[in-house]
Amino acid sequence: MAQIAYQFLSKFKTKNLLYQQFIIELVGTFILIVLIDNAVATYTFGHPSDHFAIATTAGVGLYIAVVFGATVSAGHVNPVVTFALATLRKCPWKSVPVYFAGQFIGGFAATVVSFANQRLAIVARSGLNGTFPSKTASLFMSNPGIRPVDHETVILDQVLCVGILMFAIMVLIDGSNNHNSKSATPFGLLFVLIAVILAFGSNAGAAINPARDLPARLFGFMIGLGDMWSDMFWLTASTIGTFLGAVVGAWTYYLTVEIHRINDNADLRNGSANDLNLTELRTTLDKLEALVDAEKGLKSHTKLLD
């Protein structure tokens, strides 16, 4: 029975790197966001509000997602990280739409599952019968923590927040600038994410990840929550601020550190010598695997002739 199941499942095996990256980003983003959403709900409905607990849950979720995707997609689980790395040619542009698709679909799936898991608590809390009250929208998406707040403030807030996060990512993945093992990178990111959530949670709710915010707004609109777009914070905080902040953080690190190693590494136009070109690496590994299989087949054929 186990052999039959294995043979059936092995049909889904693929060497297509883009497909593997899509699956890894989808699952990794799902894990990250489903943990965040349920932590927010838990400390809204079941326990006194605890921002540190929520931030820690987010950090652990990121740790799991990065370790899970390290060897295939590097576990970006955030569109702004993918975009910022692509501007530095640390991620192939042809992979960007695939990463985005996996991240946003994973975020949408996480919102649906989280809502289903917390629905009874939401209904009991609101006193409504089977509907999704608008005041619980912040469980699944980012909203300004302090009102009134203007759009300029939330953009600046997210440029700082995501910029620091992206700068830290660049520090941790740059093997030439630190002596940490690769296993230390996800652990370091855990603490960085906790810090930025605690530091920048008031103005824009620590939006950070559009894959959590935008799919949740779409889901809320689909189930009749109402107008999810008119306040424009989805655009200023969750989109403009986060993408701009990621680019600023990534390029700040490049211009202050990496560019000064230009003689030791390849020029940016050719890609850094420290960059992990997963596509080329996987292609080379596939060729080696094919050669090994061919050699095994040749040996088997030789034995039959003998």
Taking the alpha carbons at both ends of the chain, their separation in whole angstroms is: 36
265 pLDDT above the threshold of 50: no
- Give the pLDDT band (50/70/90) at residue 230: confident
75: tokens are: 């576990």
pLDDT at site 183:
75
Q: Are 32 and 193 in contact (CB under 8 A)?
A: no
Query: How long, in residues, is the chain?
Result: 306
Does the structure show a pLDDT above 90 at 27? yes
pLDDT one-digit tens code per residue, 136-159:
666 888 877 766 788 899 999 999
**pLDDT tens digits, 162-201:** 999 999 999 998 877 766 667 788 899 999 999 999 999 8
- Reading the block at residue 234, the tokens are 């989805």
pLDDT value at residue 167: 96
248 C-beta neighbours (distance < 10 Å), count: 18
On the question of pLDDT at 38 being above 60, the answer is: yes
255, two tokens? 């211009």
The predicted pLDDT at position 262 comes to 58
With tokens 């029975």, the residue in question is: 1
Q: Given a cut of 80, is residue 304 above it in pLDDT?
A: no
Q: Are 211 and 76 in contact (CB under 8 A)?
A: no
Range from 209-218, 220-229, 293-302 carrying the lowest mean pLDDT: 293-302
Token code pair at residue 281: 């690496």
CB atoms within 10 A of CB 276: 16
Angstrom distances, CA of residue 259 to CA of 52, 157, 186, 231, 265 = 37, 27, 25, 40, 9
Higher pLDDT, 272 or 226: 226
If you write DSSP's letter for every residue of 193-228 in order, what string do you get?
A: HHHHHHHS-SSS-----HHHHHHHHHHHHHTT----
Question: Residue 148, preceding bond cis, omega within 30 degrees?
Answer: yes
- pTM (two decimals): 0.81
Structure tokens that stand for 158 in this block: 């997210």
Q: What percent of the chain has pLDDT over 70?
A: 76
Q: Which two tokens stand for residue 187?
A: 């652990």
Does 92 score more than 60 pLDDT? yes
The C-alpha atoms of residue 180 and residue 182 are separated, in whole angstroms, by 6
Model pLDDT for residues 268-283, shown as the tens digit of each residue: 444 443 444 555 566 6
Q: What's the CA gap between 58 and 60, in Å, rounded? A: 5
* 50-75 mean pLDDT: 92
Above 90 in pLDDT, residue 135? Answer: no
CA-wise closest residue to 211 among 67, 137, 143, 110: 110
